[in-house]
């Protein structure tokens, strides 16, 4: 195992234990800890002083890109793959889902009753993969080859 310290792009030091950043105990972003809270009406929605970045629907903003839960990969904001999550044991996905801003799927005509999954490409893909065992195996094999 490699030992050392990991620092995020904003100089925040990663600590696996005793994490006291962006939690229920302290909801401030690291930028706010370093530079102070902003005035009312200018509250940060992300750790970027310039405001939130556009991310695809159904993904999570991870600060230096976005996480796509269907592809199980982290992308740069321009869509370039940064890295894929290794396996189900990876704690990264859980951390992202608990702490990062999510951009939900938008209902086309504004009618929430239309959100039944029939028009949602992610839901359709998951239903298709889960209903066809052979297709699921092919998908998993393809992912393993891509990671090799």
pLDDT tens for 19-62 read: 666 666 766 776 777 777 777 777 766 666 677 788 998 899 98
Give me the domain span that covers residue 144.
116-148
94 lies in the same domain as 60: yes
Please state the domain count of the chain.
3
CA 20 from centre of chain = 20
DSSP, collapsed to helix, strand or coil, labels residue 59 as: strand
Predicted local distance difference test score (pLDDT) of residue 137: 75
- 45 with 66, same domain? no
**Whether residue 48 is found in the same domain as residue 4:** yes
Within this chain, do residues 16 and 58 fall inside the same structural domain, yes or no? no
Task: Let me know if residue 111 belongs to a domain.
Answer: no
Q: pTM of this prediction?
A: 0.54
Q: What is the pLDDT of residue 75?
A: 94
Stretches in the chain below the pLDDT threshold 50: none
| DSSP states along 112-140 | GGG-SSTT-HHHHHHHHHHH-HHHHHHHH
Same domain, residue pair 78 and 60 = yes
91 and 130 housed in the same domain: no
110 located within any domain: no
**CB burial readout 8-25, b (16+ within 10 A) else e:** eeeebeeeeeeeebbeee
Dihedral pair phi/psi, residue 124, rounded to 5°: -60, -45
Asked whether residue 35 is domain-assigned, the answer is: yes
Assess whether 42 and 15 both reside in one domain: yes
What is the pLDDT, as a whole number, of residue 4? 78
Q: Confirm if 10 and 31 have CB atoms less than 8 A apart.
A: yes
Rounded Cα–Cα distance for residues 66 and 38 (Å): 25
The CA–CA distances, whole Å, from 142 to 92, 131, 146 equal 22, 18, 6
Same domain, 45 and 1: yes
């Amino acid at each position: 195992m490699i030992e050392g310290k990991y620092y995020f792009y904003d100089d925040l030091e990663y600590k696996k234990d005793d994490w006291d950043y962006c939690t229920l105990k302290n909801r401030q972003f690291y930028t706010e800890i370093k530079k102070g809270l902003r005035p009312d009406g200018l509250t940060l929605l992300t750790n970027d002083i310039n405001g939130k970045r556009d991310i695809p629907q159904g993904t999570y903003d991870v600060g230096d890109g976005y996480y796509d839960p269907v592809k199980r990969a982290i992308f740069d904001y321009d869509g370039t793959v940064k890295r894929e999550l290794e396996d189900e044991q990876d704690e990264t996905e859980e951390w992202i889902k608990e702490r990062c801003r999510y951009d939900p799927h938008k209902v086309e005509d504004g009618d929430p009753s239309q959100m039944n999954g029939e028009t949602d490409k992610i839901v359709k893909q998951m239903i298709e993969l889960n209903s066809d065992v052979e297709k699921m195996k092919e998908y998993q094999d393809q992912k393993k080859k891509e990671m090799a």
